Amino acid sequence: MILCVVGPTGVGKTKLSIELAKKYDAIIVNGDSMQVYKELNIGTAKVRKEEKENIEHLLFDIKEVTEMYTVYEYQKDLRNILDNKNDKNIIIVGGTGLYIKAGLYNYVFSEENNNKTYDNLSNEELYKLVLEKDNSTNIHINNRKRMERFLNREESIKDKDKLLYDVKFIGLTTDRETLYNIINNRVDKMINDGLIDEVKNLYDKNIRSKAVMTGIGYKELYEYFDGNISLEESIELIKKRSRKYAKRQYTWFNNQMNIKWFNVDINNFNNTVNDIIKYIEE
């Protein structure tokens, strides 16, 4: 059995994956583009050691923060697990829709087409094209070179929506006001849990890799350490960008995958878990 738990940031995907893994004696596979990196822990809301409850977790902390890791590499890594551990129940959990879709669907990458030029477009116009191609992108609007490379990379559209594995997609959701409050409170908790120190450690090592400079919670604090904005402005930016990212995640998942959505019972999460178990066992 393969289950895929998706949804916007902060809605309880990690907690659900643990409960389902205990119920079905499953392994958990990361479906988040940032949680593959070591040292990015608090800002990515990565599952903590004490939360894992001795459940096997794969594709977490597999890359140094200075390394590049692409959706193409993730596709290969995820399929390797699915193909070689098909005797196990597997739960994929994360919010990076493009990574998950590339791994589970007949998503074929081809060579970059370097004939296209975008010299006549502003960064804002380029970014709009990028969002049209991938609503959940983490490419920064000022990273023009990466935006152009992304737009020049062509994926085969033949059978792109053909699912290669027998998967049940489970989505967690809640109303927008509740979600935004959860996100704001979670950012405050990240700050209290030591996010500033986590990012300062990277900053002091002069690490300015793609992962750090595009990751929400990291790039904003770098702006603060660079002296461009105040700490308060940095924290507000993290909240604002996290809310916008959650909105883009909803849009992407709704348009790209056949997902059974469940409204999270904020006051009693066990009710949500039980509803999902009923659905799985129907």
pLDDT of residue 92 exceeding 50: yes
CB 185 within 8 A of CB 242: no
Q: What are phi and psi of 29, to 5 degrees?
A: -120, 130
Q: Model confidence over 126-184: pLDDT tens digits? A: 888 888 777 767 788 888 888 887 777 655 445 677 899 999 999 999 999 999 999 99
Output the average pLDDT for the chain: 89
What type of residue is 174?
T
Instruction: Name every residue whose Cβ is closer than 8 Å to that of residue 61 and which is 6 or more positions away in sequence.
Output: 35, 36, 37, 38, 46
What type of residue is 32?
D
CB 44 within 8 A of CB 36: no
Q: Model confidence over 190-233: pLDDT tens digits? A: 999 999 999 999 999 999 998 899 899 999 999 999 999 999 99
Distances (CA, A) of 154 to 111, 142, 180: 7, 22, 35
Show the beta-strand stretches assigned E in the chain.
2-6, 26-30, 57-58, 89-93, 108-112, 153-156, 167-173, 260-263
Per-residue DSSP letter, 153: E
The answer, as to whether pTM is greater than 0.95, is: no
What type of residue is 18?
I
CB 43 within 8 A of CB 234: no
Q: Return the H-helix or E-strand segment holding 213.
A: helix 210-214
Q: Delineate the domains of the chain, giving CATH numbers in brackets.
A: 2-107+160-176+248-280 (3.40.50.300)
